[in-house]
Each structure stands twice: as structure tokens, then as C-alpha cells.
Amino acid sequence: MSCKEIYPWQANLLKHMYEIRKRLPHALLLRGCKGIGKFDFALQFTKSLLCSTPQMDGSACGICQSCNWFMQNNHPDFRLLTPEQDSINEDDPTATAAIKIMRKSQISILQVRELENFFALSSHHSGGHRIVLIHPAEALNAASANALLKVLEEPPPDVIFILVTHQPQRLLATITSRCQKIDMPVPDAALAIKWLQENGLTDATLRLSYAGGSPLSVLSEATEGYQALTVISQMLMLGARLDPFITAPKCLALGMELAINTLQKWIYDLINCRLVGEVRYNIQHIKALQALAKSVNLSRLFDFQRKLNDAQKSATHPLNHELQLEELLLQYTQTFLAHMPS
Ligand SMILES: [Zn+2]
């Protein structure tokens, strides 16, 4: 289990967590926006809970057998529940595209049921915890969420569940109510920019704005991905003159989720420009957005924004994405007054 150093904006929270480690509830829900290091935090905290000789400040020693097990992804007192990406054979002719996508995006009931054996064992080091980390928790489907709920209703002794999510509204309320919620800190812009620069990024300010203030999203975004976004921005600047059939495949090259997300950020900025003359994400294109905003029909734009939100929800479903994107982009061109019926 690779375990990165803690991010500077999480230091205070981690210190607090170390302080309350003796009186932890059965379940924790770490929630907060994407790209701020929630999962890395959860790993770091888990490692410290499992460590047999933690340091004075509560952090893991990094050298005991427990720490070694954990770093080798082999700790008997730890289970990670995450969508079964690694077990998918892309060439498996028996699995349909739909099944592959589902397995990649969901945590199955089988995965939850497999925990039963884990619960039946006692912890490997006396008085220790056993930890189940669920990431991302919104990947639980109806069946696996209900199976988990049953477990949380009567939690096995000494087991701590750590759920990580950036979409807490997608979890069962009955699950959420059994967890202690921890709001994960978002770094302020100055700290995030400093951190990105220390990690070798030269255009940190622009990139951070585009990533909505999530520094890890900036780093994880491949450079080609960022270049593709630039091409798409150039097309979106065309407004009513954009060609959906040329733009759709370019968008789709990013993957459906990122494509929709790119459109959502553009539309958010366009609406913001129209209302208050400001942009949040595409700050390098503010002039173009301000020009476009003058000729836009606001109520059509709001309709389009709702449609994008719906499309985002189904982005992982195996629909005909190219067709869907063409329709969305066509609707985009129709939000401009040039296309209003006279
Ligand atoms: Zn240790």
C-alpha cells in the first residue's frame, strides 16, 4: 500500500485524529471535494492505527512489522473496498461492455460479503484495531450499501470503518447517520499554489483555478489531457458557430466524465460572466467568455446546465456517448441569441 506523506493542509486535522484515536467511533466518513487528498489521508491514518509502536505524535513508526505489512499491501487487519478495476480482463469475451463498466465503477455486494471472514478473525496484534477502508463510498450500489448497513447496525468489535467520499449525498442516509463525519480541509489558494510549485508546476495558478482549487487534480491530470482541454476551449469559444460533429469526438477523447465536466466548468463560467462578469475555472479565457456571455440566452443556458448535470450522472453508463455529446454540443450552440428563432 503506497502511503504518501501527509499534505500540508491536512496536518492539523491529522493531529486532531491522532488525539482522538483512543475514542474513535465504529465508522468515520471522510467527505470533501475531489482532488484534496482524502484517500491518502485515510491511508496515513489507517497506517498509524495499525502501527504497533506509534511515535509520540501518534504517527506510524514506519518500521514495525505492522507498518511493513501495510506498506506491502498485505496487512491481515486491513481490508480495502474499492471498485474491482484490477480484476477486469479487458479481453474477456464473456463480459459485455456494460458489465465491464459496472464492475469498474461499483463496489459489489460480494466484496462486502467477503468481509464476513475478516470479521470472524481476531486482530493480529493484541488490543489492536481492524480497519475497513471504503473508497469511494459512493461506488456502493443498492445491494452492497444495504449489506454494509447491516454490518454497521451491529458492528463487529474493534473494527473501524473509514468511508471516503466526494459525493456524500449519494450515500444511504442510514449509512451516513451511523458515521462520524469529518470534513476534509481544502487548501487555500496560496498554500496550494506553493505546494504545486514545489512539485514542479510552472503554471500553477492557472491550472489550480481550472481544477476548482483541488491541487491533486492538477497533478493527476496528464499533460496531454490539459492540452486536449485547451483545444476544446478553443472550440467552445466559437459559441453558436461551434460544429458539434467535429467537437464531440475531441471531447470524447478525454473520456465521458471529463468531457462533461469540461462543459460544466465552461457553462458555469459563462453563467457567472453573464451575471457578475467573473469566471472561476477558465481564467485564461475570461475575455472570450465575457464576449460570449453578451449574446447568450440565460434561461436556455440554465436548461443546458441541468442537462449537463443529468448527463454527468449517467456518464459511467454504457450509452452512445458520441451521439449524446453531439446532442449536448448542438444544444450549446442553441443557447446563443444568434440561434434564437426571430
Ligand atoms: Zn509501525
Tens digits of per-residue pLDDT, 32-72?
998 899 999 999 999 999 999 999 888 999 899 999 888 88
Cα 251 to ligand 1 centroid, rounded to whole Å: 46
Same domain, 42 and 70: yes
**pLDDT for the residue numbered 90:** 46
Q: Is residue 166 part of a domain?
A: yes
Q: Is residue 2 part of a domain?
A: no
- Domain region containing 93: 8-183
Cα 256 to ligand 1 centroid, rounded to whole Å: 42
Cα 332 to ligand 1 centroid, rounded to whole Å: 55
Same domain, 177 and 57: yes
Distance CA 323, CA 339 (A): 21
**pLDDT for the residue numbered 268:** 95
Q: Indicate if the pLDDT at residue 89 is higher than 60.
A: no
Q: Indicate if the pLDDT at residue 1 is higher than 60.
A: no
Indicate the pairing of strand 78-81 with strand 130-134. parallel
Arithmetic mean of pLDDT over the chain: 86
**pLDDT for the residue numbered 157:** 86
Q: Which of 199, 221, 243 is where one domain is finished?
A: 221
Q: Indicate if the pLDDT at residue 216 is higher than 90.
A: no
Q: Is residue 265 part of a domain?
A: yes
Quote the cell numbers at residue 332.
450549446
**pLDDT for the residue numbered 283:** 84
Q: Which of 221, 246, 280 is where one domain is finished?
A: 221
Here the CATH number for the domain that contains residue 102 is: 3.40.50.300
Q: Indicate if the pLDDT at residue 319 is higher than 80.
A: no
Of 166, 207, 206, nearest in space to 186 by CA: 166
Q: Is residue 1 part of a domain?
A: no
Same domain, 20 and 146: yes
Distance CA 66, CA 77 (A): 9
Domain count, the chain: 3
Q: Indicate if the pLDDT at residue 97 is higher than 60.
A: no
**pLDDT for the residue numbered 21:** 86
Q: Is residue 272 part of a domain?
A: yes
Contact 274, 301 (CB under 8 A): yes
Q: Which is more confident, 340 or 267?
A: 267
**pLDDT for the residue numbered 88:** 45
Cα 3 to ligand 1 centroid, rounded to whole Å: 13
Same domain, 57 and 144: yes
Q: Indicate if the pLDDT at residue 194 is higher than 70.
A: yes
**pLDDT for the residue numbered 222:** 55
**pLDDT for the residue numbered 274:** 93
- For a pLDDT cut of 90, what percent of the chain falls above it? 53
Contact 37, 216 (CB under 8 A): yes
Of 148, 164, 82, 57, nearest in space to 109 by CA: 148
Q: Which of 183, 213, 239 is where one domain is finished?
A: 183
Same domain, 94 and 237: no
Same domain, 131 and 239: no
**pLDDT for the residue numbered 225:** 67
DSSP reduced 3-state for 28: strand
185-211 mean pLDDT = 88
Here the CATH number for the domain that contains residue 289 is: 1.20.272
Cα 148 to ligand 1 centroid, rounded to whole Å: 29
Q: Which of 2-6, 240-244, 265-269, 336-340 has the lowest mean pLDDT?
A: 2-6
**pLDDT for the residue numbered 3:** 47
Same domain, 317 and 260: yes
Cα 13 to ligand 1 centroid, rounded to whole Å: 20
Same domain, 165 and 213: no
Q: Is residue 286 part of a domain?
A: yes
Distance CA 148, CA 168 (A): 15
Same domain, 26 and 165: yes
Q: Indicate if the pLDDT at residue 91 is higher than 80.
A: no
Cα 158 to ligand 1 centroid, rounded to whole Å: 19
Cα 125 to ligand 1 centroid, rounded to whole Å: 12
Cα 34 to ligand 1 centroid, rounded to whole Å: 29
Q: Is residue 3 part of a domain?
A: no
Cα 338 to ligand 1 centroid, rounded to whole Å: 65
What residues contact 29, with CB distance under 8 A and at least 6 apart? Answer: 137, 163, 165, 168, 171, 176, 179, 180, 181, 182
Same domain, 231 and 265: yes
Same domain, 265 and 314: yes
Cα 50 to ligand 1 centroid, rounded to whole Å: 7
Cα 266 to ligand 1 centroid, rounded to whole Å: 47
Q: Which of 20-29, 37-46, 141-150, 277-286 has the lowest mean pLDDT?
A: 277-286
Q: Is residue 46 part of a domain?
A: yes
Cα 115 to ligand 1 centroid, rounded to whole Å: 24
Same domain, 54 and 144: yes
- For a pLDDT cut of 70, what percent of the chain falls above it? 87
**pLDDT for the residue numbered 110:** 93
